[in-house]
Chains A and B, each alone.
Chain A
Amino acid sequence: MRPPSRVREMPILRVIARALVPVILLFGLYVQFHGDFGPGGGFQAGVIFAAGLIIFALTFGVEALRQVVSVVLTERLMAAGVLLYGAVGILAMFLGGEFLNYSALDPLTTGHHGQHLGIIAIELGVGIAVAATIMRVYYAFVGRRLDGDGEATEPALGAEPGEGTP
């Protein structure tokens, strides 16, 4: 897939983007998995990760990104992230605790380990959901026809409520 013409004429942009994108993605993962020790967490990580991919799309074209992450995949990941979060909560209920009581995830120790496990798992869910959502929003902005059903809306026939407003 050929990138947009103006970008093709900007070798500096392309070279720098090629160098930066992997670093940004890696930094996103760092923020994700270091979130339980320092500043960070799923939301920030998801935004950074998606931003890296969006820079890739801006320089090399949306089609190039769509070959890596399709629109349908972003929708599935959005749902999967939320489900991962919820599944941790439900799992805690099955292990005898309240919803999202991470201490129940590790019944053998005094509970700190469970809290650790739980927060990593739910933050991963948040990260996936946020990254996917941001990319889906980006896809929605760059082209409504990408997913093949962005047809323009017309008034429905028949079902037409009255016009009069007192």
Chain B
Amino acid sequence: MIEKIVVLEVVLPLLAAPVCVLVRHPRLCRLFSLGVVALCFAIAVAVLLEVRGGGVISYQLGGWPPPLGIEHRVSTVNAYLLALVTAMALVVLSFDSRGGPPRVPEQRKHLYYAVFLLCISGLLGMTITGDAFNIFVFLEISSLSSYILVSLGGHRRAVLSAFYYLVMGTIGGVFFMLGVGLLYQVTGTLNLRDIAVRLEPSLDDRGTVLALALLVVGISIKLAVFPLHHWLPNAYSFAPPKVSAFLAATATKVSFYLLAMILFTIFGAPFVFEELRLQAVLLPLSILAMFLASGAAIFQTDLRRLLAYSSVAQIGYMTLGLSTANATGLAGGLVHLFNHAVMKGGLFLVVACLLYRVGSVHIDALAGIGRRMPLTSAALVIAGLSLIGVPGTVGFVSKWYLVSGVLERGWTAAAVLILLSSLLALVYVGKVVEVVYFRKPPETQPIDHVREAPFGMLAPTWVLAAAAVFFGLTTNWTYGVAREAAELLLAGGI
């Protein structure tokens, strides 16, 4: 049964978007998109349960068999991502609508939901499809809609940062497109599995190496790998808070999946990591990201920018796991997708709560807010501790497996650096916690009028904060699936 409806994962949000345009009623649209996303989440979980243990679901669009037809192909790797994206979309959408775009007039709010659904659909499409050109199409759908979402931030600079994001994103998209074109020239096919099979004899072709380079650079821009990350801090700090939460929790994660899938499934670990030695580039960049971006985060005075720079650093951990190219390290990187989504999504939802009640998330404006908004501040502390990697939180789980993977590879220095970079996280999280709890509010800006955030905002925030603890204590689900996905990737399957 489930293999017959797996395509709905993409089709439902894609068609729900025009329905929202027709309905033109913001509250109805919100409920409708919530229902659609909940349905997608249910399907994603059912799919994940179905494919766990090595199962594969292949769906032939239009009844045309692959490799000529377009195939949607789900294994543990992308079923994990589908569940992650739909879960985060569900949590973010259920967050009170007052965390949405601040300056969109009521009679155009339905378009915001339509764009949000399109973004979800694009991300799910990139994850689910087994066709290289299809990835590009969905990449464009998700990118274009996320540019719009970022530009709705209300501040004048939101438009500018959305434009900057657009320029960088388009460059990334073009690189990806050129890479797909070269692969098509070398292999004569667009089906991912077919490309992998036919690429085997021509791996040493100059065209193949160029295609790999273009694909990796293109996706690295989308993923915000260290020197290509410059669009991210602006985009995340000027977007509407709900949008930041959603993008931080999903967009870069799907890009990471694409990168892993291209390296391991299409080109294969032996070629990429033994012949070309990509880790010689990826490992130093990851470590630089961990240190420089965390260092930049320490000096930020705006909570959103601080979190955005911390995201760049966390992406460094993920790519570090990728560059180990062994099951433990890669599983560590993959499990960090989920873990980082939970904690960073939670932190950005905290930002949304604070923005709603305090009106600013400048570090000085937050002085003493811990007494006025105890529940919000507690969620901030829990997610922040997880960012540092305190045992009992999800952050610890990721770092544990990352360090194990790195040690398995024999890179003792890198393991030490991971632990040292956690200290930087301690500094920037500690800075925020210190201000929120221990500093007196400035006399010029009394905060007596500030009350706790409404329930509609607190509940989703606390779902993520609770998940950060729950999945930090039980790792059967997260690490179990990630480990299986990592072994599948290393074996060259999808």
- In the complex, whether B233 has a CB less than 8 A from a CB of chain A is yes
Specify the chain B residue showing the minimal Cβ separation from A164: B301
For this complex, into which size category does the number of interface residues on chain B fall? 35 or more
Are A156 and B15 in contact, with the CB atoms below 8 A? Answer: no
Are A155 and B108 in contact, with the CB atoms below 8 A? Answer: no
Interface segment among A10-18, A24-32, A41-49, A100-108: the answer is A100-108
Bound: A149/B109 CA distance, A: 12
B288-327 CB mask vs A (1 if < 8 Å, else 0) is 0000000010011110110000000000000000000000
- In the complex, whether A161 has a CB less than 8 A from a CB of chain B is yes
Instruction: Kindly count the residue-residue contacts between A and B in the assembled complex, taking CB atoms under 8 Å apart.
Output: 101
B101-142 CB mask vs A (1 if < 8 Å, else 0) is 011010110000000000000000000000000000000000
A56 smallest CB distance to B (angstroms): 25
Interface segment among A62-70, A73-81, A137-145: the answer is A73-81
- In the complex, whether B238 has a CB less than 8 A from a CB of chain A is yes
Bound: A9/B493 CA distance, A: 70
- In the complex, whether A55 has a CB less than 8 A from a CB of chain B is no
B291 smallest CB distance to A (angstroms): 13
Are B15 and A86 in contact, with the CB atoms below 8 A? Answer: yes
- Taking CB atoms and an 8 Å cut-off, the chain A residues in 128-166 that contact chain B are 149, 153-162, 164-166
Pick the residue among A87, A93, A103, A155 that contacts B155 (CB under 8 A): A155
Given A160-B155, A164-B301, is A86 in contact with B22 using a C-beta cutoff of 8 Å?
no
Pick the residue among A87, A89, A155 that contacts B156 (CB under 8 A): A155
Bound: A7/B59 CA distance, A: 56
B254 smallest CB distance to A (angstroms): 21
Are A82 and B15 in contact, with the CB atoms below 8 A? Answer: yes
Are B302 and A161 in contact, with the CB atoms below 8 A? Answer: yes
- Taking CB atoms and an 8 Å cut-off, the chain B residues in 1-37 that contact chain A are 4-5, 7, 11, 14-15, 17-19, 21-22
Bound: A80/B19 CA distance, A: 8
Interface segment among B60-68, B75-83, B183-191, B421-429: the answer is B60-68
Given A161-B238, A162-B301, is A78 in contact with B7 using a C-beta cutoff of 8 Å?
no
Are B62 and A159 in contact, with the CB atoms below 8 A? Answer: no
Pick the residue among B4, B18, B105, B304 that contacts A80 (CB under 8 A): B18
Specify the chain B residue showing the minimal Cβ separation from A162: B302
Are A99 and B61 in contact, with the CB atoms below 8 A? Answer: yes
Q: Hey, which chain A residues are within 8 Å of B360, CB to CB?
A: 158-160
Are A103 and B22 in contact, with the CB atoms below 8 A? Answer: no
A94 smallest CB distance to B (angstroms): 11
B69-108 CB mask vs A (1 if < 8 Å, else 0) is 0000000000000000000000000000000001101011
Are A90 and B11 in contact, with the CB atoms below 8 A? Answer: yes
Are A154 and B15 in contact, with the CB atoms below 8 A? Answer: no
Bound: A3/B357 CA distance, A: 52
Q: Hey, which chain A residues are within 8 Å of B454, CB to CB?
A: none
Pick the residue among B7, B18, B237 that contacts A98 (CB under 8 A): B7
Are A86 and B14 in contact, with the CB atoms below 8 A? Answer: yes
- In the complex, whether B359 has a CB less than 8 A from a CB of chain A is yes
Specify the chain A residue showing the minimal Cβ separation from B107: A149
- In the complex, whether A83 has a CB less than 8 A from a CB of chain B is yes
A163 smallest CB distance to B (angstroms): 9
- In the complex, whether A97 has a CB less than 8 A from a CB of chain B is yes
Bound: A112/B22 CA distance, A: 33
Given A100-B62, A158-B359, is A78 in contact with B18 using a C-beta cutoff of 8 Å?
yes
Are B18 and A82 in contact, with the CB atoms below 8 A? Answer: yes
Q: Hey, which chain B residues are within 8 Å of A75, CB to CB?
A: 21
B360-394 CB mask vs A (1 if < 8 Å, else 0) is 11100000000000000000000000000000000
B235-273 CB mask vs A (1 if < 8 Å, else 0) is 001100000000000000000000000000000000000
Are A149 and B108 in contact, with the CB atoms below 8 A? Answer: yes
Bound: A76/B114 CA distance, A: 13
Which A residues form the contact surface with B (CB < 8 A)? Answer: 75-76, 78-80, 82-83, 86-87, 89-90, 93, 97-104, 149, 153-162, 164-166
Which B residues form the contact surface with A (CB < 8 A)? Answer: 4-5, 7, 11, 14-15, 17-19, 21-22, 59-63, 102-103, 105, 107-108, 153-157, 159, 233, 237-238, 296, 299-302, 304-305, 355, 359-362
| 21 A-B interface contacts by CB (under 8 A) | A76-B21, A78-B18, A78-B21, A79-B18, A79-B19, A79-B22, A80-B18, A83-B18, A86-B14, A87-B15, A153-B156, A159-B102, A159-B153, A159-B155, A161-B237, A162-B301, A162-B362, A164-B301, A164-B302, A164-B305, A165-B233
Task: List 13 extra interface pairs beyond A158-B360, A159-B360, A161-B237, CB under 8 A.
Answer: A79-B22, A82-B18, A83-B15, A98-B61, A99-B7, A99-B11, A99-B61, A155-B156, A155-B157, A159-B153, A161-B305, A161-B361, A162-B305
**8 closest A-B pairs by CB:** A162-B302, A79-B18, A101-B63, A156-B154, A158-B359, A79-B21, A86-B15, A100-B62
